[in-house]
Amino acid sequence: MPFRIHPKSLWQATSRLATVSRVTNQTPHWIRQYAAPTMEQRNRTAIVTGSSRGIGKAIALRLAQDGYDVCVNDVPANKSGAEEVVSEIKGMGRKSFSYMADVSNLQEVQGLVEASVSELGALNTMVANAGIAQVKALLDLTEQDLRRMFEVNVYGVYNCYSTAAKQMIKQGNGGKILGAASIVAFKPFALLSHYSASKWAVRGMTQAFAMEMATHKITVNAYAPGIVGTAMWDLIDEELGKMKGAKKGDTIKKYSSELIALGRTSVPEDVSNTVSFLSSPDSDYMTGQTIVIDGGIIFT
């Protein structure tokens, strides 16, 4: 037998509930509570490689805003830019220093981590951001082209991941390890074949590290920028333009208008916002992921 409620009864019940809700000022118990950093978390430290300019610089500055003391790393040729970033971070009231090291050299990365721990304290977050790109047709690549691409983009990320992980395991408090992938880690671009391959490797390495580091409460994730207005993409635009007879700036404009759903080239801060999340307690249940920040080129 179907159960029926008389419309008048339903109206009376609804009216009574509405009256109760008007007179109470209590906060509903189901409102979500977001993770708030503890005092210990507000005094975190981070290393950001390749952070004298571009995306790395934006990440270093954002982490400083988030309460991190930051070790700014780059190669010696970019020392002046790194020192400028350090000055900006100190201007925010955070501790910072620069350390020159080539991430493709394991001993230099080990020195980088040791210096950061000595200067700033226990290492909480490693951002393996440093990378290189090259525009070249597949059949024109030399052995040295391939070797150098993988030395920096793959060996460099491994050196940072492994050295940071060992330090975090020794500390015993977990940590966050992040690496720079790219949209080409999901869909290669023509004339960027070896760069694409190196970023696929970063994505796979991130997943492997995530599995093995989970027992130590270390999360390992990667971020995958799209077309960003940085010196790297200026170079890609220029080289692709030479090959296709396009003026400087035309290629990146064409890509932005035709490929990006949101219709604009990314800025470094688009990426640093995501890295901020991946470095925060809000991402504690996320590991082994490569997050795409490209304005809608690749859909995962």
Catalytic residues: 195
- Give 27's contacts (C-beta < 8 A, 6+ positions apart): none
CB atoms within 10 A of CB 43: 17
170/160 Cα distance (integer angstroms): 15
CA nearest neighbour of 276 among 46, 90, 94, 117: 46
- DSSP H or E run through 291: strand 290-293
Measure the CA dihedral 101/126/132/57, to 10°.
-90
269/289 Cα distance (integer angstroms): 20
91/241 Cα distance (integer angstroms): 40
Tokens of 129: 């951001």
Helix count and strand count (H, E) for the chain: 11, 7
Cβ neighbourhood burial of 286 (10 Å; 0-12, 13-18, 19+): middle
Measure the CA dihedral 67/68/74/79, to 10°.
60
- Which residue's structure tokens are 């599995």? 211
Geometric angle at alpha carbon 177, from 173 and 178, rounded to 5°: 155
Instruction: Give the bridge partners for 98, in sequence order.
Output: 72
